[in-house]
């Protein structure tokens, strides 16, 4: 079956959506994230007006979901949670009045 419009893509979603969700969940281990991955794959199909010249659409869909799930997992592993008390930097103790005086003095030299 070669999807050619949104109706065909909708049929693919009805036929394979739940299996693709289970597959994505087995990779990501979070249902909401797995749903996001499957939805992104189908959104991409809609934007691209469906897959072209495929012998096995089911295998293609599972491959797309696998790649999207692995990419999503990779991106999430790069995210590091910081404790609320962890500061990225210590703000300097600035004397704003002295800074403005210095700027005025430097401007006066020019």
pLDDT per position as a tens digit, 55-97:
999 999 999 999 999 999 888 887 777 676 666 666 667 778 8
Contact 8, 60 (CB under 8 A): no
Contact 50, 8 (CB under 8 A): yes
Q: Which two tokens stand for residue 29?
A: 């281990």
**Alpha-carbon span 45 to 50, nearest angstrom:** 5
Per DSSP, 54 falls in state -
Q: Which two tokens stand for residue 97?
A: 């009045």
pLDDT band, residue 102 (cuts 50/70/90): confident
pLDDT per position as a tens digit, 16-41:
999 999 999 999 999 999 999 999 99
């Amino acid at each position: 079956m070669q999807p050619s419009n949104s109706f065909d893509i909708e049929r693919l979603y009805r036929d394979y959506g739940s299996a693709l969700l289970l597959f994505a969940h087995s990779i990501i281990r979070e249902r909401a994230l797995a749903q996001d991955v499957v939805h992104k794959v189908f959104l991409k199909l809609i934007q691209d007006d469906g897959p072209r010249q495929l012998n096995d659409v089911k295998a293609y869909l599972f491959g797309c979901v696998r790649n999207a799930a692995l990419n999503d997992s990779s991106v999430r592993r790069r995210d590091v949670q910081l404790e609320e008390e962890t500061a990225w930097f210590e703000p300097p103790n600035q004397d704003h009045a002295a800074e403005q005086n210095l700027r005025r003095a430097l401007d006066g030299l020019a």
